[in-house]
Amino acid sequence: MERLSQWIEERDRVLVMGVLNLTPDSFYDGGRYVTVQAAVTQALTMVEEGADIIDIGGESSRPGAGSVNLDEELARVVPVVEALAAKSDVLISVDTTKSAVARAAIAHGARIINDISALRFDPDMGEVVARGGAFLVLMHMQGTPETMQQDPRYTDPVTEIEDFLRERIDAAVSAGIDRKRLIIDPGIGFGKRLAHTLEILRRLASFKDLGVPILIGLSRKSFLGEILDLPTSARLEGTIAANAIAIANGADIIRVHDVKEGRRTADVAFRLRNNAT
């Protein structure tokens, strides 16, 4: 925990968050890590490749995905969090909108809650995160995973998303969460068309005005498929290019499926951004 607090103060490098989906239906890696052993093995591989954070998800948030009941999500997530925490001191994040999952995950070693609803879906989430002393990712999303890509519209996506995230930061602070434990995510792929996504990435530095770290999740997403006309399995190079641009424009954390490539991208792009020798 102290490592993340120190990094938030110093911002001396870009952090890499490795994606670990425990679901059968996630858009890229669904079904690969549905046993505890397979999940922990993959997490440890990502740590060896340079992941600072492992983001564990028990409910798919791909476009059109339905919800998973609480018992199922707990059964998927908690054993993996517990087993990974016993084997590694890597920072563990849990991607959930349910306060009961967050509470159990924190109790078993998670230090970050990644809430795609930004505290809107579960009224108890803010209190659970505050009491647990965890860090919180607040993400922007239009609608829900089931509806978000049906007809997303904005007049000015960057200004509207920034206003939303500012209000959500205030809500988190009102719930008792220290502002220094907050991270924001503009939510690429969550209620955005290609034009919206490109505008957000070009103007990503605008979100620096909010004064908290910026997380960006671009890995193998559909906007890359639109640009390249390629399936998810062939979008690695596009991901690398997009992450490099995002870092150049201010991203502090990148969320990736391919950690080795993400780590190398982050290290080079950060040095270029900061004019380091």
Given 221, 235, 264, 273, the catalytic residue: 221
The whole-angstrom separation of Cα 262 and Cα 230 is 20
- Smallest Cα–Cα separation from 54: which of 251, 227, 253? 253
Residue for token digits 């690429």? 188
The whole-angstrom separation of Cα 112 and Cα 110 is 6
Residue 9, class by beta-carbon neighbours within 10 Å (0-12 exposed, 13-18 middle, 19+ buried)?
A: exposed
Given 168, 220, 255, 263, the catalytic residue: 255
The whole-angstrom separation of Cα 167 and Cα 94 is 23
Q: Catalytic annotation on 273?
A: no
The whole-angstrom separation of Cα 165 and Cα 150 is 22
Q: Catalytic annotation on 98?
A: no
- Phi and psi at residue 182, in whole multiples of 5°? -105, 145
- Smallest Cα–Cα separation from 97: which of 123, 134, 133? 123
Residue pair 183/137 in contact by the 8 Å Cβ criterion? yes
Written as one letter, the residue type at 19 is V
DSSP tag of 122: -
The catalytic residue positions are 221, 255
